[in-house]
Amino acid sequence: MNVPGYRDVPPETWDPAAPADPGEAEDFLRQCYTENPRLGPVEPRLAIVRAQIAATGTYVHTTEELAYGAKMAWRNASRCIGRLYWRSLMVLDRRRARTADDIFSLLVHHLRTAGEGTIRPVISVFAPAQPGRPYARVWNEQLIRYAGYRDAEGRPVGDSRLERFTAAMRGFGWRGKGEQFDVLPLAIETPSEGVRLYELPERAIREVTLTHPEFDWFAELGLRWHAVPAISNMRLTIGGVHYPLAPFNGWYMGTEIGARNLADVDRYDMLPRIAARMGLDTSRASTLWKDRALVELNRAVLHSFEQAGVKMSDHHTESERFLKHIANEERAGRKVPADWTWIVPPLSSGVTPVFHRYYDEADLRPNFYLDAEAATLAKEGSRCPHGG
């Protein structure tokens, strides 16, 4: 995916009523202005920020501070392998949007901007949280996710991990088609309007039908996946200011789809079906049928995205690029925080260069965080008043 937040992470706690930390604000501004001399001297800006925090409990980032802070957050994201491209992040300042209709319109624009033509990294930053006040957010963990159901016989249909969230959306009146790849509606919550559901238009959803370079039968599985992995339930923190609604995307690494989304037993669990079509011996694990089926599933994903002209990277290439990123950052005198369990890909790990080294683990800010309540909403929609 080349963005943090794909796999489950331990949720972080924060106090929405707490004022911005002046020390964290100063640390960010000094680093931001040092790395961007064109912004001018930092001391006058620090005086303004200190006064704003003293008077209101928070302060307002300039457009330049917001843009560079978002890029720094990507650079500091220890669970992301794709940080070589952090400078290329397109930052869309959406802090003036207030209504659910406005937010939805801008989220559609985000998906179209990111997904039309070459996939590009984009973040849309909406209004920050104000101390002690409610704030807008999206319940969905990604802007595009597929629903999960059970058929009449109790068999899973669609993304099993999203069954409870799908049930919550149905509690709001959404029905879906009950098919394998029904795109879930966006649940947008604002302080003045509560929760409203919005169906994404087709023009905002770029999808790739999956085929295999050798197996003609693979197309009969009816698999597909969307092109833009836009994380929508992580909080962006810049200099002590929190942005609860700041969806962002990169582009997919093939294993995100082929070794996780479609392969995990609590997701689409496709390996047994692929193994059966391949005629593999599944009677015992030692035949390595899972490994063989997994490789062919990942071949199909990479092949299909390439055939469709949709940008995607493979785990070998991305691993090499991550080491290049580390070298670049070390030349700039910066440490690169990295979580080994996330950086190492879930396929052929031992033959990728990121496997054979240790990394610094540090919580550097600016950064992205998954909040406990956001995690619960994304999985269960537990605040749905209609039985979700």
Question: Which residues are known catalytic residues?
Answer: 80, 83, 251, 256
Instruction: Tell me if 62 sits within 8 A of 93, measured CB to CB.
Output: no
Tokens coding 66: 């917001």
Q: How far apart are CA 382 and CA 282, in angstroms?
A: 39
Beta bridge partners of 90: 122
Q: How far apart are CA 225 and CA 262, in angstroms?
A: 9
Q: How far apart are CA 250 and CA 93, in angstroms?
A: 17
Q: How far is CA 265 from CA 116, 253, 259, 270, in A?
A: 32, 20, 11, 8
Q: How far apart are CA 262 and CA 273, in angstroms?
A: 11
Tokens coding 4: 């943090």
Tokens coding 300: 């199909």
- Name residue, tokens 């670049």: 328
Of the candidates 313, 314, 309, the residue with the CA atom closest to the CA atom of residue 117: 309
Within 8 A by CB and 6+ apart from 189, the residues are 100, 136, 137, 138, 139, 195, 196
Q: How far is CA 255 from CA 35, 128, 348, in A?
A: 34, 33, 10
Within 8 A by CB and 6+ apart from 255, the residues are 298, 315, 345, 346, 347
Instruction: Tell me if 28 sits within 8 A of 239, measured CB to CB.
Output: yes
Helical residues (DSSP H) of the chain, grouped into ranges: 22-35, 43-56, 63-76, 100-115, 163-171, 254-255, 271-278, 289-308, 315-331, 340-343, 372-380
Beta bridge partners of 149: 157
Instruction: Tell me if 239 sits within 8 A of 25, measured CB to CB.
Output: yes
- Name residue, tokens 């197996």: 215
